[in-house]
Amino acid sequence: MVREELSRHNPLRVLGRETQAVLSNGAFGAITARAGVGKTSFLIQVALGYLVEGIDVLHVSLKDPVDKVSLWYTEVFRNMTEHWGRKQAADYWETLLPHRFIMTYRAEGFSTDTLAERLTDLSEQGVFTPRVLVIDGFRFDGSIRDTLLALRALAEIRSLSAWFTVRIHRHDPPRPDGMPAPLADVSELFEVIIQLQPLGSEVHVIPMKGGPDPLQMPQMMLDPSTLMVKHRE
């Protein structure tokens, strides 16, 4: 019952599918938005969706230290369980933690080889074997195709799927097909692309690729005060 209740908060429901069916092994998903719109919060809600299903998630941050990422998770989980008893929430949180591992890098120090080495360390020592990778802060400026291809190859070998946050810039308009500029040359590497679009005082969650026809799905938004997903009333 707890799982079902928390699954209702899973933002991937906007895609009309169960969590595990959204990305297959080696597949990539992207969450795009301008700075400050809610990409990290959305990503963490996606990650929590997996954790609730008992799926091991490796959270890679290229911008925040471990403490801050950990705090994000605590905050988002607290928002998800605000009507729960504190003990119930605390006990349930303890069951989720072993399924999450946080790795942080300086953006310039991150490479596929380094990541592969760390993944090997984790599995060889029996510490952690992720099935989903969430990467926050990966820079999509410059030529990144080779890096993304290498990451895909790594993901396939390791039976991982991966979600990325993609920052888009106000001064860099989308392409004619609506694809955000940073993804224009690499969009075929992503099975799913979700955009967070501020419209007035609302932030709309729009599946751009890999989802159903938006007109046929109940629309999802982010609550601007908590950055938590909710269905549009």
Cβ proximity to other proteins, 65 vs 173, nearer residue:
65
Residues in 151-210 at the binding interface with other proteins, rule: CB under 8 A: none
35 φ, ψ (degrees, to nearest 5): -60, 135
User: How many residues sit in the footprint of other proteins (CB under 8 A)?
Assistant: 30
Structure tokens at 127: 């510490």
Binding track, positions 52-71, relative to other proteins; x by CB under 8 A: -------x-----xxx-xx-
Q: Are strands 132-136 and 220-222 parallel, antiparallel or unpaired?
A: unpaired
CB of 137 to other proteins, least distance (A): 13
| Residue 209 zone, left/alpha/beta (φ > 0; ψ -120 to 50; rest) | beta
Which tokens hold the place of 25?
């092994």
Pick from 118, 139, 204, 209 the residue near other proteins by CB under 8 A.
118
Comparison of 36 and 98: residue with beta carbon closer to other proteins: 98
Q: Which is nearer to other proteins, 128 or 164 (CB)?
A: 128
Pick 34 or 118: Cβ nearer other proteins: 118
Single residue of 1, 4, 35, 125 touching other proteins by CB under 8 A: 125
- Residue 174 and residue 160: Cα distance in Å, rounded? 29
Instruction: Tell me how far, at minimum, the Cβ of 105 lies from other proteins, in Å.
Output: 4
Query: Would you give the binding string for other proteins spanning residues 87-116, x where CB under 8 A is met?
Result: x--x---x--xx--xxxxxx--xx---x--
Cα-to-chain-centroid distance, residue 229: 13
Residue with tokens 């597949």: 27
Residue 157 Cβ vs other proteins, minimum distance, rounded to whole Å: 18
Q: Are strands 132-136 and 57-61 parallel, antiparallel or unpaired?
A: parallel
CA distance 230 to 233: 9
Cα angle for residues 214, 137, 35 (degrees, 5° grid): 60
Residues near other proteins (CB under 8 A): 59, 65-67, 69-70, 86-87, 90, 94, 97-98, 101-106, 109-110, 114, 118, 120-122, 124-128
